């Protein structure tokens, strides 16, 4: 992704701060300076969210990975009230009933398609793929592209809570 679009200077500065925090944390982990690493992770947990903007989401996933290197394996978490299959079914119903999600996917697909218009290789990383409803239309648009489709790699990331729930079944 590029830093263009509608993102302002404040968002760029915030993203830069997240990158610096991640680098400082990774360096502390590499040097086995665990107190410094924990301090960096504390700052990252306050500044980055898996539900925030693109930089916050990426930083949140990297912070989770660094935290996993510092922590013992987590104890099992209680299951939520809704079964994971029910959550996905609810999302499917919402997706079919609500035009806003489809419009957001269409807009994002169009922006991605334009950004990679002249590329011969494309790697898209979806940080919250769920059922992947967004991608069939994008794949169809790429297939019909003048000059033929590019080589495509699509990587989907499932939020760890949902992944853990599915792995228990």
pLDDT tens readout for residues 97-112: 888 888 888 999 999 9
Sign of CA dihedral 163, 89, 135, 14: negative
Structure confidence at residue 51 as a pLDDT band (50, 70, 90): confident
Helix axes 99-115, 84-97, angle to 10 degrees: 90
Q: In a 3-state reduction of DSSP, which class is residue 153?
A: strand
Phi, psi of 118 (to 5 degrees): -105, 5
| Cβ-based neighbour number of residue 18 at 10 Å | 22
How much is the pLDDT for 50? Answer: 85
| Cβ-based neighbour number of residue 56 at 10 Å | 19
Please report, for the chain, the start and end positions of each structural domain, with discontinuous segments joined by +: 9-70, 84-167
Give the span between the Cα atoms of 167 and 87, in whole angstroms. 15
């Amino acid at each position: 992704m590029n830093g263009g679009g509608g993102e302002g200077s404040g968002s760029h500065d915030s993203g830069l701060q997240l990158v610096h925090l991640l680098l400082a944390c990774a360096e502390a982990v590499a040097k086995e300076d665990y107190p410094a690493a924990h301090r960096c992770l504390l700052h990252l947990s306050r500044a980055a969210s898996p539900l925030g903007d693109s930089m916050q989401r990426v930083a949140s996933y990297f912070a989770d990975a660094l935290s996993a290197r510092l922590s013992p394996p987590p104890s099992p978490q209680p299951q939520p009230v809704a079964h994971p299959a029910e959550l996905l079914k609810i999302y499917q119903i919402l997706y079919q009933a609500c035009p806003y999600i489809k419009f957001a996917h269409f807009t994002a697909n169009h922006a991605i398609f334009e950004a990679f218009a002249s590329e011969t290789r494309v790697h898209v990383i979806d940080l919250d793929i769920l059922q992947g409803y967004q991608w069939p239309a994008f794949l169809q648009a790429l297939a019909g592209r003048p000059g033929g489709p590019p080589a495509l790699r699509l990587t989907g990331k499932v939020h760890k809570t949902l992944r853990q729930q599915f792995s228990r079944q």
